[in-house]
Amino acid sequence: MASDEPALRASLLQAYLREIARETPDDLGAVREALGAEAIARIEHAPGHGWLPIALEMTILRAVHARRGDEGVLELGRVMGHVAMRHALLRIVGEVSLVMSGRRPQAVLEFTLRGWEKATQNAGVPKLVMRGPREAVIRLAPVPEPLRHRALFVRLGGSVEATLGELCRVSATSAVELDPGWSWADTVFRWLPRDEGRATPRAAAAGRG
């Protein structure tokens, strides 16, 4: 793997294969076919802390997206968000951060950006922009070429929705906005306390216009 190639921790690719087999087994055949036997063996035998090309994650997400569109990838993203929260160290760090910040969603979003930095290499540096007390954007600008598929940002949306729900006890939704030339990619989040129901980013945006 080239030293400047965008990469992902092998443990996360291993988690994708494990969770797809467990949670959405109908997708597994398409994912394994898209990856091929050599890539699957590479994922399965890599040390968890090691780096593998992020193109492998993109292959997984493209395969799920081809079968089930945004909803399928969003579902997978939520699963992966819960997986991250089951990881003992991430859970402890997340809980401590939230207790210190009063369980503010902004703290979870900032924690997500730190997670991106730990989990990826040469994959860009996302930024957080708060649009209000219940709306925020994670923007990646520019988007490295291997990451240029909306499925990645839909997956990010699902993962953060799950994390916000678990740690902040809110109902969250996400929407993806992409620059046609890939100079930026936005994942927009809105949330409400669970007793107020689910938020809808697109509806909110229309209401502001």
User: Where do we find the tokens 């990010």?
Assistant: 156
Q: Give the pLDDT band (50/70/90) at residue 13.
A: very high
What is the residue extent of each domain of the chain? 7-208
**Cβ 74 vs Cβ 98: under 8 Å:** no
Identity of residue 20: I
DSSP 3: T
User: Where do we find the tokens 């996400």?
Assistant: 174
Dig out the tokens for 63 from the structure: 């395969």
Q: Give the pLDDT band (50/70/90) at residue 206.
A: very low
pLDDT exceeds cutoff 80 at 91: no
Residue 37 CB coordination number (10 Å): 9
Instruction: Count how many residues are written for the chain.
Output: 209
pLDDT tens-digit readout, 142-198: 999 999 999 999 999 999 999 899 888 899 999 999 999 999 999 999 999 987 755
**Distance between CA atoms of residues 13 and 207, nearest Å:** 39
pLDDT exceeds cutoff 50 at 203: no
**DSSP calls for 111-133:** HHHHHHHHHEESS---EEEEEET
pLDDT exceeds cutoff 60 at 100: no
pLDDT tens-digit readout, 31-81: 999 999 999 999 999 999 999 999 999 999 999 999 999 999 999 999 999
* pTM above threshold 0.75: yes
**DSSP calls for 48-93:** TTSEEEHHHHHHHHHHHHHHHHHHHHHHHHHHHHHHHHHSHHHHHH
Domain 7-208 maps to which CATH number in 3.30.750.24, 3.30.70.1450, 3.90.1520.10, 3.40.190.10? 3.90.1520.10
**Distance between CA atoms of residues 84 and 167, nearest Å:** 12
Q: Give the pLDDT band (50/70/90) at residue 208.
A: very low
